[in-house]
Amino acid sequence: MMTRFGSRLFDQAFVRSGPIRWLVVGGTLLIAAIAVGSVLMAQNFRERALRNAGRELENTVLLLAHHFDQQLQDFAVIQRDFVDHARTIGIASVADFRTRLSGQGVHQMLRSKIDALPYIGGVNIIDADGNLINSSTAWPVPKVNMADRAYFRTFKYDPNSPEVLIEPLHSRISGAWTVLIVRKIVGPNGEFLGVVGRGIEPANFEKFFATVALGESATISMLHRDGTLLARYPHSGELMGRNFKTGSFEQQRVFGLDHFAGRFTSPIDGEDRLISSRALPHFPILMMATTTRAAALSDWREQIGMLISVAAASALAIAGVLIAVVRKLLEQHRASRQRLTLEKQRLDRAVNNMTQGLLLFDAERRLVVCNQRYIEMYGLSAEIVKPGCSFHDIIAHRKATGSFTGDVDRYVARVLKGIHARNSMVVDTSDGRSIHILNEPLADGGWVATHEDITERRRIEERITHLAHYDALTDLPNRTMFHEHLREELAAVGNGEEIAVHYIDIDEFKGVNDALGHLVGDDLLKSVATSLRRCAGPADFVARLGGDEFAIVQSAVTSRDQVDELVARVFAAIRAPFDCMGHHLTTDASIGIALAPEHGTALDQILKNADMAMYAAKSAGRRTYRFFEPEMDAKVRERRLLESDLRHAIAEGGLEVYYQPCLSLKDDRITGCEALVRWRHPERGMVSPAEFIPIAEDTGLINEIGEWVLATACRDAANWPDDIRLAVNVSPVQFKSGTLALKIMAALAASNLPASRLELEITEAVLIRDDDAALTILHQLRAIGVRIALDDFGTGYSSLSYLHRFPFDKIKIDRCFVDDIAGPDGSASIVQAVVNLAAARRMTTTAEGVETEEQQRLLRALGCSEMQGYLFSAAKPADKVLELFALHRSRLAQREGNGGRRREAG
């Protein structure tokens, strides 16, 4: 029924609109538009042809001006060189000029200059009497006098004459017109000595003009700025030397401008011509190109003929198409009706396959269209919900079937009250779904309602909102929510109460990750989070800030005993063993506490103070807690000041390298020196490395310091005796850069120090952080011959495993084992074990911090290879350590000599 109704409407509209009549009118207007467009296009083409011709003339004169300006400048350079030559050889008088510049040597000089620039032509030298005394083109020079020439008289009698003149004249040699370019030569006192110049025949210019000819009726001319014609193509002998500045105002204006483009009637042939001229930048010469307007429009005439033909053919084609269209119009009308039926079917399929429920109501509040999705969404009957039923009946049916809860009349009244404006609402069904209803009003008083099930979307949005405020691993509030809660608490803190902010950092958590893996570490964090929830009070707020850091906001604190009690509960909870994926782990924490308002009322301030208190607990040996104290802030500022001074010292070269020798316990010879960085502060004096090296490692400055120490030490060690090695400490931070091996190779190459004399000292921390990457770098260094020593052996976790995985050249025994080696319960057995282990692995051993002869004796008895410490020598600067080498060698030589004499005496 709907299809037949739509077809009748379409037929009536087709007849009333008179499509054939409008089609004829439209075709006639189109043919008229083609005619008008053709006329406008012809005019446009004509103007474009004139513009293109003018642009071609402009490009031509620009090319010619640049070309001849360059050539004339080349000759001007030769002229100036000749004038400078005359001054250089001291020519100061007319006689001197005539005598010294008329020889064959000057001729050869001029000839050599012209040979380098063959396009310039000959150069002539004329003395103060007008006689030709030298030339680059002929020897001997012909006798010619130029005293009667206008340019010569101008130079000789006019003291204010310009240095260079360009003048067209008849050559006395060839009888042809010549363009003469001459430069005046004066003595030291301004006395006129002569002229250097050249003559160029117009044919030379016209030959080049011919290569850029623009067409049959085109001309190219070279004119003096005073209007004199110097050269022209096509050539015209009767026009040469003629002055064109005496013509009309339009002609005269050309010679007064550096660039001109326009049209006027030619004074030569009376043609209407396009003209473009451009002056040479450095010479009073004008390049001019012209062409007749008829020549410029020759191509346009051909285009107009083609355009007329195309326009006529187009008009005929349109007429033919118009006839064919009228003939086919009825057939298309029938096809349109068929397409309308098909589109209706497609629309029905699309509406019924929507993911949303769709209802269309008319102005009488009755249903026009309802798709299948709406019926399925609420479990309704298609026999009731069908076109013609009212909106109230549909809601009542939903009430009866259980998909609507509430008062039907009240809901219907509320919807109809706001139906004249676009509105939306979200309703919850009895089965727990959320439905988004959008009502869109129509112009005829009806409306379209769409019902979309957004249950899953709302769940996802709630999950996203939860993730934005809660930690994904522990489900504790995250840093963002922690800040929001603390800000609210700070704003609401009452009189006589405080807020305690606990910053909790899990001690040695990285060791768990490195040793057991991140899965075990994550399980430990979840267990710690659960324990913190249990030990916190009901009003306390627990959050995870990231990594192994947690925080608790303790509200309504009236005494510090409450804070201490919570800390005790936290420690008891964290220190209890945890079962994490089959591993029984115990851990501890460092806790920093800041109280508000005692330690601050601003959010940033209280967070900063709690953080400083936590780091104070870490500095105190971890496994403890600290309240914020003002002195902590002072320490932080002191540390920042020291960091700033350290950056300045690195930039200004304020660091020094000292060297502490290493002594062989076998023969008392110096085997090497360890490079140690020192900082001489202008106000603090010598700053201990224990103060600034941790700062450098935390800030990454250790990379710059380490690179500088390495380069400086290699350069100094290159001047040491060949049997003394250099030891340089490498920080774990330097291994992270990934370019350590390249920097070491560069330092060795720059200093010419053999790689076998360099020994790198690393700690176990290098291997613990990223043992695979570190071992790869160590193998690269070992491959080029660098020795590797393991420093502070025995103070880490995995020394034996690393000795097995990498063949170190040396083990350094930490000074903590050397200090009590002589005691009854000392570390002699530990040192003996290290020495035996090193010997088994073919490594040498070096004992650090040897300060007494008893320690030296015991180390020698235990088989230690080398010693290092104040007993032999403290660290010394580079110049002092060279003196130490020489003094020690002389003592050894003296001792060996005394020993030899004693043996002889025996």
For residue range 571-604, what is the model confidence (pLDDT) as tens digits? 999 999 998 988 888 899 999 999 988 888 888 9
Which of these ranges, 199-208, 460-469, 586-595, 884-893, has the smallest mean pLDDT? 199-208
Mean pLDDT of all residues belonging to the chain: 82
> The dihedral of CA 83, 89, 95, 97: what is its sign?
negative
Residue 848: predicted pLDDT: 92
Residue 777: predicted pLDDT: 84
For the cut 50, the answer to whether the pLDDT of residue 5 exceeds it is no
Residue 172: predicted pLDDT: 65
For the cut 90, the answer to whether the pLDDT of residue 662 exceeds it is yes
SS3 207: helix
Higher confidence at residue 471 or residue 899?
A: 471
For the cut 60, the answer to whether the pLDDT of residue 769 exceeds it is no
Residue 134: predicted pLDDT: 80
SS3 493: coil
Confidence band for 714, pLDDT divided at 50, 70 and 90: very high
Confidence band for 7, pLDDT divided at 50, 70 and 90: very low
Higher confidence at residue 255 or residue 402?
A: 402
Confidence band for 767, pLDDT divided at 50, 70 and 90: low
For the cut 80, the answer to whether the pLDDT of residue 138 exceeds it is no
Give CA separation, 772 vs 32, 791, 806, 870, in Å. Answer: 85, 19, 11, 37
Confidence band for 408, pLDDT divided at 50, 70 and 90: confident
Note if the bond before 202 is cis, omega within 30 degrees: no
Residue 291: predicted pLDDT: 82
Mean pLDDT of 691-710: 87
Neighbours of 87 (CB within 10 A): 14
Residues 6+ positions from 483 with CB-CB distance below 8 Å: 603, 607
What are 554's strand-pairing partners? 500
Residue 553: predicted pLDDT: 94
Yes or no: say if 275 and 263 are a contact pair by the CB < 8 Å rule.
yes
Residue 664's closest CA among 899, 889, 860? Answer: 860
Element (H, E) at 885: helix 878-905
> The dihedral of CA 867, 871, 877, 881: what is its sign?
negative
Phi, psi of 660 (to 5 degrees): -105, 120
Confidence band for 1, pLDDT divided at 50, 70 and 90: very low
Phi, psi of 108 (to 5 degrees): -65, -40
User: Which of 292-306, 359-373, 858-872 has the highest average model confidence (pLDDT)?
Assistant: 858-872
The CA R_g of the chain, rounded to the nearest whole Å, is 52
For the cut 90, the answer to whether the pLDDT of residue 724 exceeds it is yes
Confidence band for 119, pLDDT divided at 50, 70 and 90: low
Mean pLDDT of 117-122: 59
Mean pLDDT of 478-505: 89
Which of these ranges, 125-134, 259-268, 279-288, 654-663, has the smallest mean pLDDT? 259-268
Higher confidence at residue 445 or residue 333?
A: 445
The number of angstroms, rounded, from the C-alpha of 697 to the middle of its chain's C-alpha atoms is 28
User: Which of 225-239, 413-427, 479-493, 756-770 has the highest average model confidence (pLDDT)?
Assistant: 479-493
Rounded to whole angstroms, the Cα distance separating 126 from 147 reads 9
Mean pLDDT of 636-647: 83
Mean pLDDT of 845-874: 92
Note if the bond before 234 is cis, omega within 30 degrees: yes
Task: Give the length of the chain.
Answer: 906
Higher confidence at residue 343 or residue 153?
A: 153
Higher confidence at residue 307 or residue 374?
A: 374
Residue 725: predicted pLDDT: 95
Mean pLDDT of 55-64: 82
Higher confidence at residue 471 or residue 347?
A: 471
Rounded to whole angstroms, the Cα distance separating 319 from 219 reads 49
Q: What percent of the chain has pLDDT over 90?
A: 20
**894-903 pLDDT, tens digit each:** 887 776 555 5
Residue 250: predicted pLDDT: 67
Confidence band for 798, pLDDT divided at 50, 70 and 90: very low
Token readout for 848 is 């650090």
Give CA separation, 14 vs 17, 25, 340, 344, 369, in Å. Answer: 6, 17, 14, 19, 27
Confidence band for 523, pLDDT divided at 50, 70 and 90: very high
Rounded to whole angstroms, the Cα distance separating 585 from 88 reads 96
Residue 306: predicted pLDDT: 82
Residue 298: predicted pLDDT: 74
For the cut 80, the answer to whether the pLDDT of residue 74 exceeds it is no
Residue 712: predicted pLDDT: 94
Higher confidence at residue 474 or residue 18?
A: 474
**184-202 pLDDT, tens digit each:** 888 888 788 788 887 777 7
Amino acid identity of residue 827, one-letter, is S
Residue 694: predicted pLDDT: 83
Amino acid identity of residue 457, one-letter, is R
Yes or no: say if 678 and 657 are a contact pair by the CB < 8 Å rule.
yes
Residue 846: predicted pLDDT: 94
Yes or no: say if 843 and 649 are a contact pair by the CB < 8 Å rule.
no
Q: Residue written as tokens 């003196």? A: 883
Which of these ranges, 283-287, 525-529, 899-903, has the smallest mean pLDDT? 899-903
For the cut 90, the answer to whether the pLDDT of residue 657 exceeds it is yes
